[in-house]
Homo-oligomer: A and B are copies of this chain.
Amino acid sequence: MTTTTLKKIAEILGLSISTISRALKNHPDISEKTKQKIVELANLLEYEPNVNAIHLRSKKTNVFGLIVPFISNYFYDSFISAVEEESRKNNFSLMILQSGDKTEVELENIKLCRQNRISGLFACLSSDTKNYDAYIKLKDQEIPIIFFDKVPDEGEFNKVTVADTLAATLAANAIIAKNKKNILALFGNKNLLITKKRLAAFKETCNEKLTGIKLTTVHVSNSAEAEKITCKLLGKKTDAVFCMSDEILTGVMKCIQKKKLKIPIDLSIVSISNGFFPKLYYPEITYVETSGYKLGKLAFSSMLSCLGGSTFMQEITTDAVLVEGGSL
């Protein structure tokens, strides 16, 4: 079965290609009678416009690129989910690429995006990406870029991020409000902006001198390490543990189960999270929600305003709210 094209319809109806094209776009130049005939046949033959031809002619692809360290991830999959939803609603396609958190693959992905003449790019940096030339090149070609989550720490870019400072502050305040005095706080990769922000805000809010709190902070690079270090550092007097992320939370909770500690009697737990993992435990973990899904929606609307002509570069932040579980 050959696919239906404008040409084919034109030949059958003895009309010109341009007439068919106009009729299907409801152009006023074509009479109602002709239009009807054409639309009918097009439906019958299940005509689908060839996007490649359209893109070629219009020099617009209506395809977005999306680069993410890993698809299979607590946070990114919900971000992707949101962007996919919006893309479909707005007649865009989505090309999703994962970098494996490696700069070299990230660069390769950017190249792929350029080859595909994407209309815009959603990008999350790999942990060790420090050079933004490839992105600047895209900008020079007037391809809008929305950075999310892990964003460049310098340069004029559009960024959407979760409310790192606010989230950490809310978490710390919640802990302080419960009069906890000996806090173990676990953070991720210390090079990441996201870590720096959360750490700074948490520390400042605890303000040890003022509150009389003893705060122990530590950096871990994955869940297993979080488990190990928690088991090691958890002292008799520790009365609260703060987890910067879901990955850390899962490690900490494994240690808690191992030590058979009663939450929240023996110990309080508070996390910053997307919201899924805290609900896995009983009692459910109290957390500050930073939603990947919301961030995705935000990123998309940001993209649309870029396409709409806005050249205003800014960093937008989602909100963060404390969700009470039973762990505090």
Q: Which A residues lie at the B interface, using CB under 8 A?
A: 1, 3, 46, 48-53, 55-56, 61, 70-73, 77-78, 80-81, 84-85, 88, 93-98, 108-109, 111-112, 114-117, 137, 140-141, 250, 253-255, 257-258, 280-282, 293
Contacts and interface: CB of A to CB of B under 8 A. Distances in A.
A268 B93 CA distance: 46
A115 B84 contact: no
A321 B242 CA distance: 37
A1 B97 contact: no
B95 A112 contact: no
A94 B96 contact: yes
Nearest to A263: B257
A71 to B, nearest CB: 5
A99 B48 CA distance: 21
A46 B111 CA distance: 10
Kindly report how many copies of this chain are found in the complex they form together.
Answer: 2
Contacts of A112: 88, 93
Main SS of the interface on chain A? helix
* The 6 residue pairs across chains A and B that have the minimum distance between CB atoms: A257-B282, A72-B77, A52-B56, A52-B55, A258-B282, A72-B81
A279 to B, nearest CB: 8
A94 B95 contact: yes
A97 B72 contact: no
A71 B61 contact: no
Given A1-B140, A96-B96, A117-B50, A70 B61 contact: no
Contact of A250 (B51, B97, B258, B280): B280
Nearest to A276: B72
A100 to B, nearest CB: 8
